[in-house]
Amino acid sequence: MQQILQQFQTTRNQSKELCKPLRTEDYAPQSTDFASPPKWHLAHTSWFFEEMILKKYSKNYQVFDDAYSFLFNSYYNSIGERIERKNRGLITRPSIETIYEYRAFVDDKMIELLKLNPSKDIEELTILGINHEQQHQELLITDLKHTFSYNPIYPKFTETNYISSKNKSKGWLEIAEGIYNIGHEGDDFCFDNELGKHRVFLEPYKISIALVTNAEFIAFINDKGYEQAKYWLDDAWHWINQNQLKSPMYWKLIDGVWHQYTLSGLQPVNPDAILTHVSYYEASAFAFWSDSRLPTEFEWEVASKQLEWGTVWEWTNSAYLPYPNFKIANGAVGEYNGKFMINLMVLRGASSATAQNHSRQTYRNFFSPNTQWQFSGIRLAK
Amino acid sequence: MQQILQQFQTTRNQSKELCKPLRTEDYAPQSTDFASPPKWHLAHTSWFFEEMILKKYSKNYQVFDDAYSFLFNSYYNSIGERIERKNRGLITRPSIETIYEYRAFVDDKMIELLKLNPSKDIEELTILGINHEQQHQELLITDLKHTFSYNPIYPKFTETNYISSKNKSKGWLEIAEGIYNIGHEGDDFCFDNELGKHRVFLEPYKISIALVTNAEFIAFINDKGYEQAKYWLDDAWHWINQNQLKSPMYWKLIDGVWHQYTLSGLQPVNPDAILTHVSYYEASAFAFWSDSRLPTEFEWEVASKQLEWGTVWEWTNSAYLPYPNFKIANGAVGEYNGKFMINLMVLRGASSATAQNHSRQTYRNFFSPNTQWQFSGIRLAK
Amino acid sequence: MQQILQQFQTTRNQSKELCKPLRTEDYAPQSTDFASPPKWHLAHTSWFFEEMILKKYSKNYQVFDDAYSFLFNSYYNSIGERIERKNRGLITRPSIETIYEYRAFVDDKMIELLKLNPSKDIEELTILGINHEQQHQELLITDLKHTFSYNPIYPKFTETNYISSKNKSKGWLEIAEGIYNIGHEGDDFCFDNELGKHRVFLEPYKISIALVTNAEFIAFINDKGYEQAKYWLDDAWHWINQNQLKSPMYWKLIDGVWHQYTLSGLQPVNPDAILTHVSYYEASAFAFWSDSRLPTEFEWEVASKQLEWGTVWEWTNSAYLPYPNFKIANGAVGEYNGKFMINLMVLRGASSATAQNHSRQTYRNFFSPNTQWQFSGIRLAK
Amino acid sequence: MQQILQQFQTTRNQSKELCKPLRTEDYAPQSTDFASPPKWHLAHTSWFFEEMILKKYSKNYQVFDDAYSFLFNSYYNSIGERIERKNRGLITRPSIETIYEYRAFVDDKMIELLKLNPSKDIEELTILGINHEQQHQELLITDLKHTFSYNPIYPKFTETNYISSKNKSKGWLEIAEGIYNIGHEGDDFCFDNELGKHRVFLEPYKISIALVTNAEFIAFINDKGYEQAKYWLDDAWHWINQNQLKSPMYWKLIDGVWHQYTLSGLQPVNPDAILTHVSYYEASAFAFWSDSRLPTEFEWEVASKQLEWGTVWEWTNSAYLPYPNFKIANGAVGEYNGKFMINLMVLRGASSATAQNHSRQTYRNFFSPNTQWQFSGIRLAK
């Protein structure tokens, strides 16, 4: 129990630490429907503890503000109405000072509750809330980068640019055919979508030890990769043409040299560094051009013990679908994962923006195949 | 060879037979981007033989009309430009008479070629062309139904209404866990997406012997199935709300009785008949409401020998993705299937509108999860 | 009365004559929301007589078909529901043969009624119906051209290409300041929007005797007219950029020579001929580039007696707004003109596609400023 | 000259005064394409002085920041690229502190320049800049209200709610027919669109002494005004149905009582107060329902000396078009008004949010007919 309390405090502090370089204005805007303002992330993660735990388990709990249930609900239909997702940037009040007061209030009440020898339910929900907040810490970084990228003066957020370093080794790892166990086991925390531990038969395959580098992707660009339909899925071909895409997100060609916007400002692309900010569509086209393919999430999971990973999320060739015997939990918690199981592709691993202790081999991340704003890269298979 | 020639002639005649009840005006219009006019189907299937076979293998072949390569290309980027998909209904000329002349011309040239002891390549491409035309025969029916449905006088096309009859038996079929073979084997024709015969491990499962009936789906509607978010995938919930959907496609509630538009005109919904014209979204919601799930395509394929199927396409819980070792063929033929492997769900079986001899247990049909205009229904699993 | 009967018969025959070169398929399609299929024009003009006259004034009148009231209503809210405007091309049945039977039926009943010494009301409504049909004759031509233009084989409809000949004279006509009468007077037919004869004070002005030619407009194009924001209204600049417009509608640059699609097929642009198929946006930009302006509709009307006009509709710098004392009539007829008086610009004159005897100096035509598919051109003023 | 200097300082201070109740977060967001964040208004009005005056006339002027020319340009094509209008809310940096420094910097330089016995050009441009800033003061208020209205906690900005008080008198003012002078005369400042003083002939008319009240508009609502097509222009009818409008902007029916969001928070609608936040479409429908019409801008101007006005902008039945002899000025200043002269309707008068000394009888305000977010109301004519 002591451990959960400590994790709770650590995680809550990390969110605040992360926001230290922000100026007040930076907390407010929303650049696109799928991203959220820093202020919203800070409030929503607190709302999660209030809504899922304090309201139910804390005796005589008085909410900090009645309006917050509405203002900071993300997508839980069972909890009631909410402001439209695209309007999160318009909620200028409460101010960020008040949001920090809200966080402190929720922290106090949670700590009080956790010190009272809490039930298994409270423990489990608290661990879920911690993991939820860790997910939002990563989104806070990627969303902020997206917003800042619209600013032609290329704001610098931190010294850390979150751009990955080089591969340590390369070559192909060969895995034999066989029945393998997939899914989470043990008592550690995992999300419901990792459960349903089950067996999968894999044909023999090879998987790359190194991730695709910027230099390799520039070779694809230079070989007119973005201009030839034959490399692209049909949807992908429409997507790059409609959006006139010619490179990964945040890349700009300046006097013949590829640059990229990073959270440390605009910088030249390092050819040896690991590629990031590509969509599944681009990953798939690159794989086709390379005469390779992307691994399935099962191939990835089986091979992962022998691989280095954790610098970029890795697109797999698996659609985000339920494991056998997957069950959606009752109530609001049940909306966490299951209802998104359509039209999304699975990413495995973790990225340079993922919170510490928030990655494992069975973790299933999932995004639409046109997603670029995450730190997402490519590992090939054959 | 004699057999291929005969199949060719039979299939070509079937397309004409199918169109007999059409009046000239019916050949022209296009009701939506994803459907095509009858005239276009008749021309495009002939274009396929001309473009893929006659131009390459028929000595001194002179095309029927230079413009047709452009006019009747569907989506083959490697063959060149084409008119925008949504504008197929605007090509009033050539007239339908000319299209029938075009068909006769292509038939003559093909028959001539097939009689000359053709190469393996020609044989294989001819069989592909026959199967391609059979696919378009089914689309011709479903597209026509879509167009006619906009007409408030409910046109009658044929006596056949393509609405399925009753289940012959019911109950749950139980399948034991194990490694199963998946994919096509043998020398018969199959599409490239069925190849890559491979092994899949299945956990034990049950699959329904009967398909879902109209009465069962009406119970879902009456239980406010379309009004409760908890049954629906998130995308699905937005989709039904945005389009204000309350029932399967073509259904209308008239004085408290459900009716449906059929190709024989407007008719009351028969409660005992097998449900059709539902999307994957609706299939998934219904399954959730029934405390069941949809089978994967692998579960379906393994069980299929012991099931009755063929009246409606059956939505599976599998995304349309490549089998292990799937390879995209070189050239235009390579565009047949592979480039659509994203954001679509697999349907298995066949429907009442599927051409005869055009179904098999390994057949993978695939559509977007919001597709309703096909004759598509639901089989549950557990 | 005899005269009205004769006009009725002449006009009804003209519609049929106009359609003689059509093949059955040509009657069906609709290329855009603002255009309609020939079949619809033929039916709707008959519907007008049935709905506005026969149903009210013909004793024991039995409608030809109950569904037509719904199928062929254009936009009259007071008459009830109608199919969505954009779906007119999907109504394949009734067939064109049936529509011609419908026309003959309405003709018989109208002739019968007109022979019975009809009331003033019937006379007036019949004259309105005749003028209404004449308007649709012109639309039938322009809509057909629009549909045919999507066909890459450039169908030929008639020998007549409707492209205007040369100006007969040129120079500037000077008009003195003064109070002028505007609006229709006399007992002849006019639309309600021409009424409210009233006085307008005009400052002195000059108006061009000649209309702008293709050569003059090509000079504008060659002077990078479409590429410089300074010539364009703000809305216009967005419009040409969003639609990537570089020329009048139907123009194509082939090997450095401007060609245009006409109803006689693709033809080189004749530099000396009068320019047509430009929008108000283009007219306004051209005027600005020419250091001139467009005349107001009042300036045009006052000068018109001394001008040659009738080959192209002429954009004026007047918005389509009610004249003083304009009154909207009661009932369905009241929806004819008044409810469109917003966001449209007035065109004066007539075009090569306007029905004979269907033009006068007070006629107010009106379209959205981005309209190109009418035969519309430019006359300058200063 | 002393006077201009003083006006300059007064106006610049007013902008700051206006923003005093804002918290830092309030400066940032943009709720819609047509509104801008307070920070942007403050910066853009300074940019105007820098770009139009200081860069050209101030010796050795060094811009405050190179990026601002790009960041704070509104729509001047001749000055170069700018960020997309809809992304103004994403420019979190420079911070609001820096923008206030920028304002102070521009103020110092302008004051310095104005003290140096400036040329006529500088004087005129300074007066234009002052008037420009006054326009943005009004927009700052209306834009802020729009943003705040999305917040379900109904933020309170000031004690002033900008909602208009009652009419002081009523009845119909009758104006005789005749030739009247229209447009600005004298040496006072006016915008270019008011110039071209000219004569207009007016038929005799009556104009209402009182503006339409909330009670009168509620009578229209209660008479099913929003539900009957016959009162509405065709575009208007589509607009209210597409947007499901049932009342003026910011109105909400709570337990049968109409409330409205104001800058002092949510308040009951006062029946006797003057109606505001209606579009031209609603004004036109209300006039039709009242058996009246809206005055033209000429009728308004002629009558205005005998009317009380200035609490709401008054929709007129005149489209925003150039006066005779209107000339667009050379260079960037020429983009101020002329290029918007299409698809907009003229409003006359001024509103409770209009800056002091920023209204006159010849002032032509102009907005799209669906505009509601301005303080706009209705005066009837006959």
Rounded to an integer, the average pLDDT of A7-21 is 97
pLDDT at residue B327 tops 90: no
| Residues D34 and D15 sit within 8 Å (Cβ to Cβ) | no
For residue B158, is it within any domain? no
Whether residue D218 sits in one domain with residue D348: yes
For residue D156, is it within any domain? no
Amino acid letter for position D247: S
Alpha helices in chain A (DSSP H): 2-18, 38-49, 55-57, 68-71, 96-115, 120-148, 214-222, 234-242, 280-289, 297-303
Distance CA B338, CA A231 (A): 11
Q: Which of C205, C328, C343 sits opposite D343 (nearest CB)?
A: C343
Q: What is the CA radius of gyration of chain B?
A: 21
| Residues B373 and B282 sit within 8 Å (Cβ to Cβ) | no
**Residues of C with CB below 8 A from B87's CB?**
31, 150
Whether residue B181 sits in one domain with residue B120: no
Pairing mode of beta strands B172-175, B178-182: unpaired
For residue D166, is it within any domain? no
| Residues C306 and C198 sit within 8 Å (Cβ to Cβ) | no
Whether residue A176 sits in one domain with residue A117: no
Please answer yes or no on whether A322 and B234 come within 8 Å at the CB atom: no
For A165, other C-beta atoms within 10 Å of its C-beta total 11
| Residues D371 and D204 sit within 8 Å (Cβ to Cβ) | no
Whether residue B210 sits in one domain with residue B109: no
Amino acid letter for position D235: D
pLDDT at residue A271 tops 80: yes
- How much is the pLDDT for B290? 97
pLDDT band at C254 (very low <50, low <70, confident <90, very high): very high
Between helix A214-222 and helix A280-289 the angle, nearest 10°, is 70
The pLDDT tens digits of the residues spanning C260-298 come to 999 999 999 999 999 999 999 999 999 999 999 999 999
CA distances from D316 to A170, A238, A258, D279, D297 (A): 74, 46, 55, 11, 5
Neighbouring subunits of D (3+ Cβ pairs under 8 A): A, C
Q: Read off the CATH number of the domain in which D223 is found.
A: 3.90.1580.10
Whether residue D244 sits in one domain with residue D106: no
Interface of B with A (CB under 8 A): 75, 77-78, 179, 198-201, 203, 205, 229-230, 232-237, 280-281, 284, 288, 293, 317-319, 321-322, 324-325, 328, 334, 339-343, 345, 369
For residue D51, is it within any domain? yes
pLDDT band at C76 (very low <50, low <70, confident <90, very high): confident
Q: Which domain holds residue A284?
A: 172-377
pLDDT at residue A377 tops 80: yes
Please answer yes or no on whether C321 and D319 come within 8 Å at the CB atom: yes
The pLDDT tens digits of the residues spanning A166-200 come to 999 999 999 999 999 999 998 899 999 999 899 99
Question: SS3 for C19?
Answer: coil
**How many contacts (CB atoms, under 8 Å) link C and D?**
82
Q: Which of C235, C319, C341 sits opposite D321 (nearest CB)?
A: C319
Q: What is the CA radius of gyration of chain C?
A: 21
pLDDT at residue A54 tops 80: yes
- How much is the pLDDT for C218? 98
The pLDDT tens digits of the residues spanning B338-365 come to 999 999 999 999 999 999 899 999 999 9
Interface of A with D (CB under 8 A): 23-29, 31, 39, 67, 70-71, 83, 87, 89-96, 147-148, 150-153, 155
The pLDDT tens digits of the residues spanning A22-52 come to 999 999 999 999 999 999 999 999 999 999 9
Whether residue A317 sits in one domain with residue A199: yes
- How much is the pLDDT for C332? 77
Question: SS3 for B52?
Answer: helix
For A254, other C-beta atoms within 10 Å of its C-beta total 9
Rounded to a whole number of angstroms, the distance from the CA of A39 to the nearest CA of chain D is 10
Closest CA in chain B for residue A317: B321
Rounded to an integer, the average pLDDT of C109-120 is 94
The residues pairing with A178 across neighbouring beta strands, listed in sequence order, are A202
The label of the residue with tokens 């209309």 reads C211
The pLDDT tens digits of the residues spanning C47-64 come to 999 999 999 999 999 999
Distance CA A255, CA C201 (A): 61
Question: Could you tell me how many residues make up chain C?
Answer: 382
Whether residue B190 sits in one domain with residue B123: no
Interface of C with D (CB under 8 A): 75, 77-78, 179, 198-201, 203, 205, 229-230, 232-237, 280-281, 284, 288, 293, 317-319, 321-322, 324-325, 328, 334, 339-343, 345, 369
Question: SS3 for A268?
Answer: strand
DSSP string, B314-349: EEEEEE--PPTT--PPSSGGGGSSGGG-SS-EEEEE
Distance CA C21, CA D237 (A): 39
- How much is the pLDDT for A67? 93
**How many contacts (CB atoms, under 8 Å) link B and C?**
89
| Residues C199 and C179 sit within 8 Å (Cβ to Cβ) | yes
With b for 16 or more beta-carbon neighbours within 10 A and e for fewer, the D60-81 pattern comes to: eeebbeebbbebbbbebbebee
Helices (H) then strands (E): counts for chain C:
10, 11
For residue C162, is it within any domain? no
Q: Which residues contact D133 (CB under 8 A, 6 or more apart)?
A: D11, D12, D15, D45, D48
Distance CA D266, CA D83 (A): 34
Look over chain A and give the mean of its residue pLDDT values, rounded to a whole number: 95
- How far is Cα of residue C138 from the mean position of the Cα atoms in its chain? 6
CA distances from C350 to C19, C132, C281, C361 (A): 21, 15, 19, 9
Whether residue A16 sits in one domain with residue A132: yes
Please answer yes or no on whether A340 and B233 come within 8 Å at the CB atom: yes
Please answer yes or no on whether D230 and C342 come within 8 Å at the CB atom: no
| Residues A47 and A72 sit within 8 Å (Cβ to Cβ) | yes
Rounded to an integer, the average pLDDT of B225-253 is 97
For residue B259, is it within any domain? yes
Q: Which residues contact D294 (CB under 8 A, 6 or more apart)?
A: D283, D284, D287, D315, D316, D317, D378, D379, D380, D381
pLDDT at residue B157 tops 80: yes
For chain D, the 3-state helix, strand and coil shares in percent, each to the nearest 5, are 40, 15, 45
Distance CA C4, CA C6 (A): 5
Please answer yes or no on whether A155 and D31 come within 8 Å at the CB atom: no
- How much is the pLDDT for A79? 78
Enter the DSSP assignment of B352. T
Q: Which residues contact B253 (CB under 8 A, 6 or more apart)?
A: B247, B259
Backbone angles phi, psi at A246, to 5 degrees: -135, 0
pLDDT band at C96 (very low <50, low <70, confident <90, very high): very high
Whether residue A255 sits in one domain with residue A128: no
Closest CA in chain B for residue A335: B230
pLDDT at residue A334 tops 90: no
For residue D164, is it within any domain? no
The CA-CA-CA angle for residues A277, A278, A281, to 5°, reads 155
| Residues B167 and B184 sit within 8 Å (Cβ to Cβ) | no
Rounded to a whole number of angstroms, the distance from the CA of A155 to the nearest CA of chain D is 7
Whether residue B330 sits in one domain with residue B209: yes
For chain B, the 3-state helix, strand and coil shares in percent, each to the nearest 5, are 40, 15, 45
Rounded to a whole number of angstroms, the distance from the CA of D116 to the nearest CA of chain C is 34
Whether residue B254 sits in one domain with residue B371: yes
pLDDT at residue C81 tops 80: no
Whether residue A278 sits in one domain with residue A321: yes
Distance CA C146, CA C285 (A): 24
For D214, other C-beta atoms within 10 Å of its C-beta total 22
- How much is the pLDDT for D206? 98
Q: Which residues contact D308 (CB under 8 A, 6 or more apart)?
A: D167, D168, D169, D209
Distance CA A359, CA A350 (A): 6
> Tokens at residue C307, please?
């001008």
Which segments of chain D have a pLDDT < 50? none
Using CB atoms within 10 A of its CB, is residue D189 exposed (0-12), middle (13-18) or buried (19+)? middle
Rounded to an integer, the average pLDDT of A311-322 is 98
**Residues of C with CB below 8 A from D179's CB?**
179, 201
Pairing mode of beta strands B376-377, B313-319: parallel
Distance CA B7, CA B4 (A): 5
* Percent of chain A predicted with pLDDT > 70: 100
DSSP string, A86-123: GGGGG---S-HHHHHHHHHHHHHHHHHHHHT---HHHH
**Residues of C with CB below 8 A from B43's CB?**
none
Q: Which of B25, B71, B152 sits opposite C24 (nearest CB)?
A: B25
Report the number of distinct structural domains present in chain A. 2
For residue C183, is it within any domain? yes
Please answer yes or no on whether A321 and B324 come within 8 Å at the CB atom: no
Look over chain C and give the mean of its residue pLDDT values, rounded to a whole number: 95
- How much is the pLDDT for A76? 82
Rounded to an integer, the average pLDDT of B121-140 is 97
The pLDDT tens digits of the residues spanning C153-175 come to 999 999 999 997 899 999 999 99
The pLDDT tens digits of the residues spanning B20-75 come to 999 999 999 999 999 999 999 999 999 999 999 999 999 999 999 999 998 999 88
Q: Which residues contact C88 (CB under 8 A, 6 or more apart)?
A: C30, C36, C37, C40
Amino acid letter for position D265: G
> Tokens at residue A332, please?
């609001």
H or E segment at C206? Answer: strand C205-208
Please answer yes or no on whether D322 and C203 come within 8 Å at the CB atom: no
**Residues of C with CB below 8 A from B90's CB?**
29, 31, 147, 150-151
Distance CA C295, CA C377 (A): 13
- How much is the pLDDT for A140? 98
- How much is the pLDDT for B171? 97
User: Of the candidates A315, D325, D332, D84, which has an alpha carbon nearest to the alpha carbon of residue B342?
Assistant: A315
Of B134, B149, B164, the position where a domain reaches its end is B149
Rounded to a whole number of angstroms, the distance from the CA of C91 to the nearest CA of chain B is 6
Distance CA B110, CA B113 (A): 5
For D238, other C-beta atoms within 10 Å of its C-beta total 12
**Residues of C with CB below 8 A from D328's CB?**
288
For chain A, the 3-state helix, strand and coil shares in percent, each to the nearest 5, are 40, 15, 45
